[in-house]
Chains A and B, each alone.
Chain A
Amino acid sequence: MTTSTDNAPAQWWLQCQRAAAARFAALPMPGRQDPNWRFAGAPDADLASYQPAAGLGEAEREQALAASDNAFATAGGAVFGNEQLLSFTAADDALAKQGVIFEPLTVALARHPDLLQKHFMSQPVALGSEKFAALHRANCNHGILLYVPAKVRITLPLTAWHWLAGDRQAVFPHTLIIAEAGSEVTFADFYRSLGTAPGLAVSVTDLLVGAGARVTYLGCQDWNEQVRSCHLNAISVGRDAGAKTLNCNLGGASARVESHSRLTGVGARSEMLGLSVGHGAQEFDQRTRQDHRAPRTWSDLLYKNILNHRAKAVFAGLIKVAPGAPQTDAYQTNRNLLLSDEAEADSMPGLEIANDDVKCSHGATTGQIDPEALFYLLQRGIPRHEADYLLAVGFTEEVLARFGHDPINTRLRAMIADKFRRGKRRQVGPADDAAAGSANARHPQHPV
């Protein structure tokens, strides 16, 4: 085991970063020919124009801290801004006594290098963003380590807020959660911006769910609409364990989310949820994999997208059942609601099954608001824009109900409502002339 001083990162860590920087330089920028990037907008080739963020000014710091409002009770939390730890609320003593480790990465590097060496980005990235994973590994210095020892159950959620501010700044937030056998934990990451400057965010979340453990995770992306982001979720689920993850996209100019769930233990279960609300010219590119590698495993995926104006969503999911994973149950659903004529939904739900003893199905639908449901509301005197809003919100509820964590859901509902409000304001924006025109066309006189 290498030793390390308190302040400077350990040698092994720096070596890994240097190796990753070399990997990043060597890997080609993914292009449209790559099946993992089909339908995707070209990734920003000009990555060099961003610079690693270096902390926030005093005013921004106050602003970020004030806005990092969970609105629900937590067992601990952290606030980061531009690659700087702004505040940290440690888990209480009772949890610490049981062996729970909840630390910022900078601290964990000194105290628990063994855990980091073993688990930090230990699962290979396989869904197309290998280059961005290398970029993250080369630059990541901030984030969270959460280690939950065997049989410890943390009832309240823990959270981390990640803020980005300033012109063409880049951040690389990381969350590593290790849940040992029989433990339980809920964690939420919120990614947000101060101001409206363009930026870059490459975040990674590693979830390692041990035998019989339960992990519930929310990654809520609400960067400003100039930020390009890439979020990589690696989930590994052990014997009889359960992982439930929700990836929520509200902000960003273009956001790519990869969520790869590996069901490695017998009886493992993974529920993968996604919810995106897009307007303006936002692009959400979502790639998922349900990797069944052990017998009697179960996975169920539901990704829902609501798209207004010229927003675009790509969903590409793959259920992969290995020959050695009989009695697999795997399901995959993608539903797209188009609120305008120019919104675009590209859906690629895939299956690769190498075993006959499985129950697998997938479905994808793309459509508009159900005219009958709309008629019902109009008939009761609800104005058209209000009816549209209610039905769109209703469309999100299925995902939240499946996520099932009421306090977090309440917070999410507020953020989703805020997003719809922003969308309404946007309709008059000059950038969306075409979208606004068609949106007006979509609001004919009510039937009398």
Chain B
Amino acid sequence: MSGTADKPDLHLEVEAGNFHYPEDYAYDAGRGLTAETVNYICDVKRDPDWIREFRLRALEIFAKRANPTHWASKDLDTLDFDQIRYYLAKGQQAKRSWEEVPEDVKRTFERLGVPEKERKFLAGVEAQFDSEAAYSNIKQAVADEGVIFVGSTEGLHHYPEIFRPWFGKVIPSGDNKYAALNSAVFSGGSFIYVPKGVKLKHPLQAYFRINAEQFGQFERTLIIADEGAELTYMEGCTAPKFETATLHSAVVELVALRGAKIQYITVQNWSANVFNLVTKRGLAMEEAEIKWIDCNIGSRLTMKYPGVVLQGRKARGEVVSIALANNGQHQDTGAKMIHAADETTSNIIAKSISIGKGRASYRGLVHIPKHLRGCKNNTECDALLINSDSRTDTYPAISVRGHGNSAQHEASVSKVSAEQIFYMRQRGLTEAQAMSLSVNGFVNDLVSQFPIEYSVELKRLIDLEMEGSVG
């Protein structure tokens, strides 16, 4: 993960992910993607007919759409869709031995203080980490208040009356090529419903739930907060998630009904061979609030632009984004704010750090159409470059019409201040420590918005990424 400018380039890292494992899955849709694959998935999962139709329609869209390389990274064209496995059933994923796990991943576990048992799970050595108990506890605690917190498959089978009206409505299959792919082959992910007026005090952690049933490659999450409800949802973890599958493409839909509040926290740390192409969008009704807190550390290429459609009067959307791009990585992240009602407000704060040859891009969309009044957007993007061949880009698109609407965007690019480093070195810190401290300072105001255990780990992780980047 961490490395210096002379670290081997990404092809070698891809090699490192090529594990051998026995190919005797009980449920395996095989390689490649055709209508047969989709039908196979439907049969195995016993999907209702409307889901089968939904999947097949999405497959057509996926096949029709070209990779968006006219604006996105050409690296997408290296994906070979015929070589990908689109479905492996529960408990049937890769097995490998601890010896096969690369040293730097082990070292990261060590430094983060990940418990021994959990390390093996995260490294894919053990198929299942025993978080069943933790998940059951959470599930029980919230169920008393009428909260539904289950997997997406269970959601669509047991709660179709809530699931179906919203599923695929915030992000239609035609939204983009990868949303269509997910719609065709999705499995895993969460379904959450929080009833009217219920305010959850503790965050719902996908970590425990997903651990109990395996990470999904094509997760599909749908969260509905009914009127006045509040919840915080957390997915991912700071520890690196070692994966052999090279393509991950999730779709996350949030619906915040009148006066509801949803906060969605993601920490993404896939290993450096993974393409992470995710579509995330929330729908905020009157006076509702949706906040995405998004932190991207791992993967080879991440493309993710969490968005909020501000559908009701006085709705509010916010995106807080941290991206860290090291050698061989491209973090192409950003935010979308679609204003669709009067007096809606949105705020985007994005910070990125590029280390070594890493590349961090911010892509933003702010749309305020003409029939609206009193809408406001604020966007701030700051990029920090650590090495002389680090790279950063900013591509915002801001479209404003209408009465009393305003938008402001600011971005800056800088390197670590030589004076700060001098000050710290003078007081006995090594250059690496000084750099780390400075970088942590750069993102500190955003990191402090994460739950405490995450923010502590994030700091350690930044220290780790910074190692070897200087001198």
Residues of chain A touching chain B, judged by Cβ–Cβ distance below 8 Å, are 33-35, 38-39, 323, 326, 336, 338, 341-368, 438
Complex CA distance for A368 and B405, rounded to whole angstroms: 8
> B385 at the A/B interface (Cβ < 8 Å)?
yes
| B390, B403, B410: the one within 8 Å of A341 (CB) | B403
Q: Given A351-B394, A365-B408, do A356 and B415 touch, yes or no (CB 8 Å)?
A: yes
Contact B400 A344 (CB under 8 A): yes
- B401 proximity list for chain A (CB < 8 A): 338, 341-345
CB-CB contacts below 8 Å: B395-418 with A = 395-415
6 A/B residue pairs, CB under 8 Å, sorted by A: A38-B397, A353-B392, A355-B385, A356-B354, A358-B413, A362-B394
Contact B390 A356 (CB under 8 A): yes
Q: Given A33-B70, A356-B388, do A338 and B400 touch, yes or no (CB 8 Å)?
A: yes
- A344 proximity list for chain B (CB < 8 A): 370, 399-401
Contact A353 B412 (CB under 8 A): no
| B370, B387, B395, B404: the one within 8 Å of A356 (CB) | B387
> B110 at the A/B interface (Cβ < 8 Å)?
no
Complex CA distance for A346 and B366, rounded to whole angstroms: 9
Contact A366 B410 (CB under 8 A): no
| A35, A356, A361, A438: the one within 8 Å of B385 (CB) | A356
Contact A348 B393 (CB under 8 A): no
Complex CA distance for A368 and B376, rounded to whole angstroms: 12
Contact B414 A349 (CB under 8 A): no
> B391 at the A/B interface (Cβ < 8 Å)?
yes
Q: Given A353-B392, A367-B406, do A345 and B413 touch, yes or no (CB 8 Å)?
A: no
Contact B410 A361 (CB under 8 A): yes
Contact A359 B408 (CB under 8 A): no
Q: Given A345-B400, A346-B398, A360-B412, do A365 and B390 touch, yes or no (CB 8 Å)?
A: no
- A323 proximity list for chain B (CB < 8 A): 388-389
> B383 at the A/B interface (Cβ < 8 Å)?
yes
Complex CA distance for A313 and B72, rounded to whole angstroms: 25
Interchain nearest-CB distance for A278 vs B (Å): 13
Q: For B393, B404, B405, which residue has the most chain A Cβ atoms within 10 angstroms?
A: B393
Q: Given A342-B401, A348-B397, do A363 and B392 touch, yes or no (CB 8 Å)?
A: no
Majority-rule SS of B interface residues: strand
Contact A346 B397 (CB under 8 A): yes
| A39, A338, A356, A438: the one within 8 Å of B386 (CB) | A356
Q: Which residue of A lies closest to B388 (CB)?
A: A356
Contact B388 A366 (CB under 8 A): no
> B21 at the A/B interface (Cβ < 8 Å)?
no
- A348 proximity list for chain B (CB < 8 A): 395-398
Q: Which residue of A lies closest to B395 (CB)?
A: A350
Contact A39 B406 (CB under 8 A): no
Contact B411 A361 (CB under 8 A): yes
- A345 proximity list for chain B (CB < 8 A): 398-401
| B354, B386, B396, B404: the one within 8 Å of A364 (CB) | B396
Complex CA distance for A182 and B231, rounded to whole angstroms: 66
| A342, A346, A353, A364: the one within 8 Å of B383 (CB) | A353
Q: A345-B398, A354-B390, A354-B391 are in contact. List 7 more A-B contacts (CB 8 A).
A: A344-B370, A355-B385, A356-B390, A363-B408, A363-B409, A363-B411, A366-B407
What is the interface size of chain B, counting residues whose CB is below 8 A from a CB of the partner?
36
Complex CA distance for A343 and B396, rounded to whole angstroms: 20
> B71 at the A/B interface (Cβ < 8 Å)?
yes
| B388, B399, B403: the one within 8 Å of A326 (CB) | B388
Contact A347 B70 (CB under 8 A): no
Complex CA distance for A347 and B385, rounded to whole angstroms: 25
| A347, A352, A358, A368: the one within 8 Å of B409 (CB) | A347
Q: Which residue of A lies closest to B394 (CB)?
A: A351
Residues of chain B touching chain A, judged by Cβ–Cβ distance below 8 Å, are 70-71, 354, 370, 383, 385-415
Interchain nearest-CB distance for B18 vs A (Å): 31
Interchain nearest-CB distance for A41 vs B (Å): 14
Contact B411 A349 (CB under 8 A): yes
Complex CA distance for A149 and B402, rounded to whole angstroms: 52
Q: Which residue of B lies closest to A343 (CB)?
A: B401
Contact B393 A353 (CB under 8 A): yes
- A38 proximity list for chain B (CB < 8 A): 397
- B383 proximity list for chain A (CB < 8 A): 351, 353
Contact B388 A347 (CB under 8 A): no
Complex CA distance for A366 and B378, rounded to whole angstroms: 11
Contact A350 B393 (CB under 8 A): yes
- B400 proximity list for chain A (CB < 8 A): 336, 338, 344-347, 366
Q: Which residue of B lies closest to A367 (CB)?
A: B406
Complex CA distance for A438 and B404, rounded to whole angstroms: 13
Q: Which residue of B lies closest to A362 (CB)?
A: B411
| A34, A347, A352, A365: the one within 8 Å of B406 (CB) | A365
| B393, B402, B412: the one within 8 Å of A352 (CB) | B393
Complex CA distance for A69 and B354, rounded to whole angstroms: 54
Complex CA distance for A243 and B174, rounded to whole angstroms: 47
- B406 proximity list for chain A (CB < 8 A): 365-368
Interchain nearest-CB distance for B432 vs A (Å): 16
Q: Which residue of B lies closest to A307 (CB)?
A: B401
- B394 proximity list for chain A (CB < 8 A): 349-351, 362
Interchain nearest-CB distance for A447 vs B (Å): 17
Q: Which residue of A lies closest to B380 (CB)?
A: A363
- B392 proximity list for chain A (CB < 8 A): 351-353
Q: Given A350-B394, A353-B393, do A368 and B415 touch, yes or no (CB 8 Å)?
A: no
Q: Which residue of A lies closest to B362 (CB)?
A: A351
Interchain nearest-CB distance for B43 vs A (Å): 38
Q: Which residue of B lies closest to A324 (CB)?
A: B388
Complex CA distance for A33 and B65, rounded to whole angstroms: 13
Contact B413 A357 (CB under 8 A): no
Complex CA distance for A122 and B263, rounded to whole angstroms: 54
Contact A34 B409 (CB under 8 A): no
- B407 proximity list for chain A (CB < 8 A): 347, 364-367
Contact A353 B404 (CB under 8 A): no
Q: Given A341-B370, A366-B400, do A357 and B411 touch, yes or no (CB 8 Å)?
A: no
Complex CA distance for A364 and B366, rounded to whole angstroms: 12
- A354 proximity list for chain B (CB < 8 A): 389-391
Complex CA distance for A348 and B395, rounded to whole angstroms: 7
Q: Which residue of B lies closest to A33 (CB)?
A: B70
Q: Which residue of A lies closest to B370 (CB)?
A: A342
Complex CA distance for A353 and B70, rounded to whole angstroms: 20
Interchain nearest-CB distance for B96 vs A (Å): 38
Interchain nearest-CB distance for B380 vs A (Å): 10
Complex CA distance for A351 and B383, rounded to whole angstroms: 10
Contact A353 B398 (CB under 8 A): no
Complex CA distance for A364 and B390, rounded to whole angstroms: 25
- B70 proximity list for chain A (CB < 8 A): 33-35
Contact B409 A364 (CB under 8 A): yes
- A34 proximity list for chain B (CB < 8 A): 70
Q: For A341, A347, A351, A361, which residue has the most chain B Cβ atoms within 10 angstroms?
A: A351
- A362 proximity list for chain B (CB < 8 A): 394, 409-411
- A35 proximity list for chain B (CB < 8 A): 70-71
- B404 proximity list for chain A (CB < 8 A): 368
A-B pairs with the 8 shortest C-beta distances? Answer: A356-B385, A367-B406, A351-B394, A360-B413, A366-B400, A361-B412, A356-B415, A341-B403
- B412 proximity list for chain A (CB < 8 A): 360-361
- A343 proximity list for chain B (CB < 8 A): 401
Interchain nearest-CB distance for A159 vs B (Å): 36
Complex CA distance for A363 and B382, rounded to whole angstroms: 12
Complex CA distance for A360 and B409, rounded to whole angstroms: 14
| B387, B391, B399, B408: the one within 8 Å of A353 (CB) | B391
Contact B399 A365 (CB under 8 A): no
Complex CA distance for A365 and B411, rounded to whole angstroms: 12
Q: Which residue of A lies closest to B400 (CB)?
A: A366
Complex CA distance for A359 and B398, rounded to whole angstroms: 23
Q: Which residue of A lies closest to B367 (CB)?
A: A346
Complex CA distance for A352 and B398, rounded to whole angstroms: 18
- A367 proximity list for chain B (CB < 8 A): 405-408
